[in-house]
């Protein structure tokens, strides 16, 4: 087994925290972009969470009982929200893309510097295609995951926090029902995400092997034709491509199953909230706008 294959198979099985520590140092070199990205993520999550009480305000003052004096504030708040969303989307896309570009640039630069320092024995035991895959497609993917992953994690985390705060302020009993389901969905997410992560790593592993075969075919084209071994190399490539296809489709399958479970769980929460909230509404304990807040929050949280 070649050294690159051994390293990659080991990487599939475990998380190397030392590597992520180095990546974190690279990210922190772009402190300005990172800070602004986080600010815009929190800003957008707050704006997103505010749409729920704003709609409840409209139901209460413009639908249930028409209050003309409430129309102008609603219009002003809605227009303000549109402007805030436009500004926020521009901000996190701009700074997210900028952070991604800088991380990608730094990763490639540092990787190339490190390649110059490695001994000849490394190149004797490592395929050039494997190195090319790491320097090109994998750095792209890693930079994208790091930059937009930070955005998604920050945005979703704060959106969940702000939403839960709004729910507890509105009706703490229904909020407890909502929150009680979250650990179950989190447990399901951890199980599926771990499986999908392993499969995606295997897919990247086979992708690097294919890249290596591509590179070797180009460099050894004359030798291949001289020895008439095109069919053997083609069979090897086809075999590797089929394995990658199988692993990738399996990852897609698990991802689809995970999405289905998450969607089913979210609508289970909606059903419980509607049932309990409807009972509270009939008893006069909650109003329809409050019930709307919980239904909308349950649907928005897991979309």
Q: Which domains are seen in the chain, by residue range?
A: 1-170 (1.20.1560.10), 171-303 (1.20.1560.10)
Q: Is 248 helix (H, G, I), strand (E, B) or coil?
A: helix
pLDDT of residue 108: 84
- Convert 103-130 to b/e letters by CB count within 10 Å (16 or more is b): bbebbbeeeeeeeeeeeeeeeeebbebb
- Model pTM score: 0.73
Contact (CB, 8 A) for 286 and 171? yes
pLDDT of residue 111: 81
- Separation CA 303–CA 300 (nearest Å): 5
Secondary structure letter of residue 262 according to DSSP? H
Contact (CB, 8 A) for 175 and 164? yes
Contact (CB, 8 A) for 293 and 168? no
Contact (CB, 8 A) for 70 and 61? yes
pLDDT of residue 76: 92
- Separation CA 214–CA 219 (nearest Å): 9
Number of helices (H), then strands (E), in the chain: 11, 0
**Residue found by looking up tokens 């227009």 in the block:** 79
Of 2, 9, 7, 6, whose CA–CA distance to 247 is shortest? 9
Of 200, 205, 208, 240, whose CA–CA distance to 133 is shortest? 208
Residues lower than pLDDT 50 in the chain? 1-6
Q: Which two tokens stand for residue 225?
A: 């034709």
pLDDT of residue 124: 74
């Amino acid at each position: 087994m070649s050294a690159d294959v051994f390293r990659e198979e080991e990487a599939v099985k475990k998380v190397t925290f030392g590597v992520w520590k180095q990546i974190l140092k690279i990210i922190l070199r772009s402190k300005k972009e990172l800070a602004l990205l986080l600010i815009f993520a929190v800003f957008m999550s707050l704006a997103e969470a505010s749409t729920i009480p704003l709609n409840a305000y409209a139901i209460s003052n413009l639908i249930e009982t028409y209050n003309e004096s409430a129309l102008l504030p609603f219009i002003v708040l809605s227009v303000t929200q549109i402007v805030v969303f436009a500004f926020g989307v521009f901000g996190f896309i701009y700074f997210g893309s900028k952070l991604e570009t800088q991380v990608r640039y730094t990763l490639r630069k540092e990787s190339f510097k490190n390649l110059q320092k490695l001994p000849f024995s490394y190149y004797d035991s490592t395929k050039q295609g494997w190195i090319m895959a790491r320097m090109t497609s994998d750095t792209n993917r890693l930079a994208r995951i790091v930059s937009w992953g930070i955005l998604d994690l920050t945005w979703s985390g704060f959106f969940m926090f702000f939403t839960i705060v709004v729910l507890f302020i509105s009706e703490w009993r229904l909020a407890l029902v909502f929150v009680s389901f979250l650990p179950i969905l989190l447990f399901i997410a951890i199980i599926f995400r771990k499986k999908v992560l392993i499969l995606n790593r295997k897919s990247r592993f086979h992708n690097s092997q294919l890249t290596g075969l591509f590179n070797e075919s180009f460099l050894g084209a004359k030798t291949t034709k001289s020895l008439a071994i095109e069919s053997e190399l083609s069979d090897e490539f086809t075999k590797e491509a089929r394995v990658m296809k199988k692993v990738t489709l399996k990852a897609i399958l698990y991802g689809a199953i995970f999405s289905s479970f998450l969607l089913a769980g979210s609508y289970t929460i909606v059903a419980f909230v509607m049932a309990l909230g409807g009972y509270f509404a009939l008893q006069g304990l909650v109003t329809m706008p409050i019930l709307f807040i919980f239904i909308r929050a349950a649907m928005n949280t897991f979309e």
